A = this chain, B = another copy of it.
Amino acid sequence: MVTIYDIARKIGCASSTVSKALNNSKEVSDSRKAEILAVAKEMGYVPNANARRLATKQSWSIGILFSEDLNIGLEHHFFSGILQAFKTYVEDLGYEVTFVSKKVGTQSLTYLEWCKYKDIDGILIVTVDVNDENLNELRQSGIPIVTVDSGLINVPTVISDNFQGTRMVVEYLMSRGAKRIAHIAGPMRSFSAMERLEAFKTVLGQYEMDASMVVEAYNYDFNSGRNALMAMFRAFDEVPDAIYAASDDIALGVIIALKELGYKVPEDISVVGFDNIELTRYTSPSLTTVAQDKVRIGTEAAKRLIAQINKEADAGQAVINRVPVELIVRESTK
């Protein structure tokens, strides 16, 4: 490993001069600077992150917090899409992104301890168990935080506009003649699921429609959707003419279940999803759904985090940043 001392020795100047030159300080003459840069390049010099960070106390790194317990995480395309956009944005600014871990060598650490250990600049919380004690500690630590799609209070949040999306769905269904709209909600440990359910009730209420046909899916996946639909048909005597599902996966499960029960989609019952995952465009029938803007959510989250890191005014306010959604009408609604 070649260090600034090696360079200094070779040139015959002080290491401090080399350091300044490499950092483009104006305390070094242009000729000297050129010489040092040339030698550095020739010797294959690469700075040492740990030394630099130790000295500057600026780590240029951002932590990503995925909760392990919920089994949605990296593997869920929605979150991985957000992460991808987030990562692209901050890396372009020169930050590195690291997963926050609970272990260092053989030692176990809390999230906050890990952040201190790494001297992290900021942290993105993606999915999380809201009741995790370790999170409180983190939140109160003053470390810049932004969260995505979570229900953490007192933390700057970026999330799809579930209210707008739900309203669009309901009003669209009504405009197409729906009289009896049901909702397959997502699991209530998910904040978005709660919001969508709440919005569902609110909007139907405003139109003086009954919003009681609701069943909670155990999970966000296909199978949970299928099961939830079956449960709904067992629990209610009435048959809805439209179903608003809290996610695309759930909606696809619902459609299959309806087919199994002998209903036609959309002729007998319309189905709407939420997410706009790639495949829904190609299923049969293709799915009417609410598109979430993963890229925008990830990018927005990145911007808000960076603003906090740079201590811009108001950056740290626990404001919920709602990202617009879009209703994509396809074949699953009549």
Contact = CB atoms under 8 A, between A and B. Distances in A.
Nearest to A59: B50
A99 B53 CA distance: 18
A116 interface: yes
Given A50-B59, A50-B119, A284-B259, A222 B83 contact: no
A121 to B, nearest CB: 12
A184 B149 CA distance: 38
Contacts of A103: 91-94
Interface in A265-311: 278-279, 281-284
Contact of A98 (B98, B222, B256): B98
Interface residues of A, number: 60
A13 to B, nearest CB: 22
Interface string A28-53: 00000000000000000011111101
Interface stretch (A73-81, A186-194, A207-215): A73-81
Interface string A95-117: 11111011111110100010011
Nearest to A221: B278
B47 A117 contact: yes
Nearest to A105: B94
A104 to B, nearest CB: 6
21 contacts: A48-B117, A49-B117, A49-B118, A50-B50, A50-B51, A50-B59, A60-B105, A68-B88, A74-B80, A74-B84, A75-B81, A75-B84, A77-B77, A91-B101, A92-B103, A94-B107, A96-B118, A97-B98, A98-B98, A221-B278, A249-B279
